[in-house]
Amino acid sequence: MKHTYSLEFKSEVIKEALATRPFSLVARKYKVNAMTISRWVREYEKGNFNLQNITKG
């Protein structure tokens, strides 16, 4: 089942994932698959997300 996440939720998860590794720890906290978080971070690093209040580390 495909789940849709808000931009605010993705922003929060990406910000924490960039500060906390491995992504599996963040995945457990937010109940999101670690591969999904990895994809979001990769897309963010490519500049495909326009997320506010996130700075690349």
Q: How far apart are CA 22 and CA 38, in angstroms?
A: 10
Better-predicted residue by pLDDT, 19 or 52: 19
Q: How far apart are CA 39 and CA 49, in angstroms?
A: 11
Q: What confidence tens digit (pLDDT) does each residue in 11-45 have?
A: 999 999 999 889 999 999 999 999 999 999 999 99
* pLDDT the model gives residue 56: 53
Q: Where are the domains of the chain?
A: 7-45
CB atoms inside a 10 Å sphere around CB 49 = 15
- Which stretch of DSSP H or E encloses residue 35? helix 34-45
Place of tokens 């924490």: 16
Counting Cα atoms < 13 Å in the Cβ hemisphere of 17 gives: 25
* pLDDT the model gives residue 46: 92
Q: How confident is the model at residue 48 (pLDDT cuts 50, 70, 90)?
A: confident
